[in-house]
Amino acid sequence: MRYKVVVGGRGAECYVHLLEDEQRQRLFESDVENDNCEPEVISEIVNKNDIFETDDTFLGPFNNPEHFIIQVYNENDDLIWESKNDHEFEDYIFEFVFEEDKSLIIEDYTKGQFFQYDIELDEEFDPKKLKPIVTEIGERVEIITNFTYNETDLSLFKEYGDYWSKGLTYYLN
C-alpha cells in the first residue's frame, strides 16, 4: 500500500557558517544578533556571495506539537491520520550539531509544508512506528529534520514542499 506523509507547520530553515575568531569578533562588533548588520556585510565577513550560501542547511518544523502538523494519506489521497496540536511521539532520535563550534546560525523562520514522503508498506500505516529525527543546531534551534518508519530511514523518499519565510534571526556561537 502506498502512503503520503506530509509534514508542515511553523519552523525554520537554518544556514550555518563556521567562523574563524576574527570573523566571529567582527560579527559580534557589528551587533549581528540584534539584527544591526546588513546581509551584504555578513556575506563579506563570512566570505560568501550570499548569507544563504553554505553546505550546512537544516529545514523542518519546530519540535513542539503546537508547531507541526503531520498528515498521512492513502493511495486514494484520503486523509487517514493527522497529528493533533498536543501529539507526543513515543520516541525520538536526537542529533546535536555545531554545539562546540564557533559559528553563525541564520534562522529563517518559515511556515508551510516542509517536506513529504511517498512510501510503500506491506501493512496498514501505524503512526506509532513513525519516529522524528530532531536536530538541535548550536544549542539554539530545535527542529524535526527527518523521520524513520519502523526503524527505516525515510530520507530516501523525501521531497521538499512549499514554504515561505517570515523573517531572519542571527545567532553567534
Average pLDDT over residues 23-52: 96
pLDDT in tens, 98-135: 998 999 999 999 999 999 999 999 999 999 999 999 99
Element spanning 2, H or E: strand 2-18
**What pLDDT is attached to residue 84?**
85
Q: What percent of the chain has pLDDT over 70?
A: 100
Q: What percent of the chain has pLDDT over 90?
A: 95
pLDDT in tens, 134-173: 999 999 999 999 999 999 999 999 999 999 999 999 999 9
CA distance 116 to 58: 15
Average pLDDT over residues 26-33: 96
Element spanning 69, H or E: strand 68-73
On average, the pLDDT of the chain sits at 96
**What pLDDT is attached to residue 87?**
86
pLDDT in tens, 71-87: 999 999 999 999 988 88
Average pLDDT over residues 43-58: 97
